[in-house]
Amino acid sequence: MKLLCALLFVTATAAAQQTPALSGQTQSSHLLVIRGRDGITLPAPPPVDAVPVTDNYFGTKIVDNYRWLEDARSPETQAFLEAQNAYTARYMKQARIRAQAVDDLTDLESVSSMSLPIQRGDACFYTKRLAGEQQASIYVRSTAKALPGKAASAAPAEKRLVDPAAFSTDPNISVRIEDVSRDGALVAYAVRVGGADESSIRIFSVARGKTLEDELPSARYLSVSFAPDGASFYYARHNRQGTLLFLHQLGTRVSQDKLIFGREFRGEELGPDDLFSGRISDDGRYLVVQIDRGVPARRTDIVFRDLTRPGEPFDVLVWALDARFSAIWNKGVWYVKTDYQAPKGRILKADPGILPDVWQTVVPEGADVLADWAIVGQKLYVQRLHDVKPETTVYTLAGKQAGQVAYPGIGAASGLSGRPSDRYAFFRFESFIEPPAVYRLDTVTGATDVFFKPRIPFDSSQYDLRQLFYTSKDGTRIPIFVAGRKGLRQDGSERLLMTGYGGFNLSETPYWNPLVAWWLEQGGWFALPNLRGGGEYGQQWHEQGMFEKKQNVFDDWFAAAGFLVAQKYTSPAHFAITGRSNGGLLMGASLAQRPELFAAVVCGYPLLDMLRFQKFLVGSYWTAEYGSSENESQFPYLLKYSPYQNLKARADYPAVLFFTGGSDTRVDPLHARKTAALLQAVSRGGRPVLLHSGASGGHSAGVGVDQQIQDDADQAAFLWTETGQP
């Protein structure tokens, strides 16, 4: 990959010199009145001290006036957050539609939900939240046929095993199944507080109806997998030093756990950005360790240990190849999905003794990207994305086509949940206009039936979801999904909300989101473009949005906005955008590069200071996607697009709501704090610039339903209000 030329370095240096000169001064109240739409008025934002700190990057000096806001625990930062949250609350009290949004979102979100089941024998284990509950509980349900004399249509009895409300009054405590022992006697589950990535691990005995004393303390666990005998379990725990795989014997102290894998292998040191998991093969023979190098993985290594031969070292399936692999052991054969010499993916039969170049092809690379795969019921299920629409083909293990899995329209389909020895597979299907339902697939007959469908008061028949295509700045053809009420006007007068991501090889398909459903019910359009940087068309599509090519993502986004306006779905005065995480970076780039295109922005859990992101929490992972300012050849392009360094005084900024939370342990909330302070200082147009920082919110799902409704209502009220008549 070619590095940027010297001309780009000069351009980036010039951009840095546009940083506002607020050094050593308290932010001035240059605007005495801030005016939102629909009659909302606010005083000037709370004053924020600008305390300049100068960094020298390879001869280029960069001033950071809000470095002090990086310290979340300082009294000054806490005072800043208190003032900012009060300022935001003052806005929300004036937003007349917010009360209605709370009522509507309560109807949409206070409903039942279910995870994909995990099968063990004649039992299914899953998490399920009933209507009116704050969090999901862990359940078990029999999948056996109805007993003689019992109506076949009678629903099998289910039993609640773990209810978070039974051991904590905190509505933001959630549980998640990590693994179930082979005999279904034990359930390993995670307990999470709020939206943090960290969790503790506990073990529930089904027969005894209680949680055992064994507990792993709060940390980042990348996998938990019961040993074949159920008397112990393997777990991969990650910290700043790296990942380590341990074996815990039930009934013993965690301090006595045995280190199984980590630190180094074959003389190669395993570093902090090497993330790996340990899983047991379906037949219980192998412990399989998959090592992902970086996020997203630029390389995957796979090693395995034969558990029938205690004390034997790990063998290598794949090592030191710059490609991504995943493996399934089934009846004496290794099946491997990879993009090695196949950017859109293929499936091979692997021989650990030789290179993949001569492995046997089972499913060859095709025109569409291979998005997911599974072996269930001794059949191979391969999901591809055809122009971002899922299509799943059934194959024999020899690679012969044996049917299709039918989906009910345009939408998002999960991969199949199940093991090679299971008869049934489960999957979820949903879309912007179709609430998520769990389906059961009989691998013998090919028939599917609805296993679970929530009762959500949303009439899908009244809405339309379509896929269109537009042309980006460099001529690239980009798909975009658009949803709206049937018959909705297309004359430029309606509101439109657009979201996007464009990164980390992640494919964005039409998913169910209660806030989006609310927006559609109010009469707005909703759009999702499939930007480069994602995985919708394979690794090449991803690489066109990485490193020095990140600007392609932003150009695709701006071209989508131009297309929607040209097609009269909306106009800039009624155009809202939202994105979180890497999508929050997209929101920041919109503010820095094309603020005139939009009326309202929600920038959620964002990554915004691209010169310092790698220094905080797990930011170093993402240098595999973005690069690092500590690299002299990568610094120039990061500086050129980094939102925090490129905001400057101007009058056409849209209304902005930065949304973050103190439980975000993935993207440090400092990005939102610093950029909110800076934007309040440089905005000259009088539109609201708000910061919403909750205590329990974070990257991972976990807050209670009531809190989620309030958070969504804040965003909905802001976006709808600020896209109304100017």
Catalytic residue annotation: 581, 699
CA–CA separation, 371 and 388 (whole Å): 10
Residue 667 in contact with residue 195, Cβ under 8 Å?
no
What are the Cα distances from residue 142, in Å, to 118, 182, 184, 649, 685?
12, 15, 11, 63, 61
Token output for 129: 């939240």
Token output for 11: 């351009």
Token output for 117: 């089941």
Strand order in the sheet with 360-363: 325-330, 333-338, 346-350, 360-363
Residue 703 in contact with residue 195, Cβ under 8 Å?
yes
Q: Which of 144, 168, 166 is nearest to 156 (CA)?
A: 144
Q: Which of 369, 305, 350, 336 is nearest to 538 (CA)?
A: 369
CA–CA separation, 480 and 471 (whole Å): 11
CA–CA separation, 114 and 178 (whole Å): 15
Token output for 714: 């804040």
Q: Which of 171, 98, 93 is nearest to 711 (CA)?
A: 98
Answer left, alpha or beta for residue 149, where phi above 0 means left and psi between -120 and 50 means alpha: left
Q: Scanning the structure block, which residue is given the tokens 């092809």? A: 361
722 φ, ψ (degrees, to nearest 5): -80, 0
Is it true that the peptide bond before 296 is cis, omega within 30 degrees of 0? yes
How many other CB atoms are there within 10 angstroms of residue 615's CB atom? Answer: 15
Token output for 655: 């209304």
What are the Cα distances from residue 430, in Å, to 408, 412, 458, 537?
9, 5, 13, 21
Q: Scanning the structure block, which residue is given the tokens 């439109």? A: 496
CA angle 505, 506, 510 (to 5 degrees): 150
Residue 198 in contact with residue 217, Cβ under 8 Å?
no
Residue 224 in contact with residue 177, Cβ under 8 Å?
no
Q: Scanning the structure block, which residue is given the tokens 């994305």? A: 385
454 φ, ψ (degrees, to nearest 5): -75, 155
CA–CA separation, 648 and 645 (whole Å): 9
CA–CA separation, 672 and 693 (whole Å): 9
Residue 289 in contact with residue 261, Cβ under 8 Å?
yes
Q: Name the CA radius of gyration of the chain, rounded.
A: 26
Q: Scanning the structure block, which residue is given the tokens 């809202």? A: 576
What are the Cα distances from residue 130, in Å, to 111, 160, 177, 506, 677?
6, 11, 17, 30, 41
Residue 390 in contact with residue 381, Cβ under 8 Å?
no
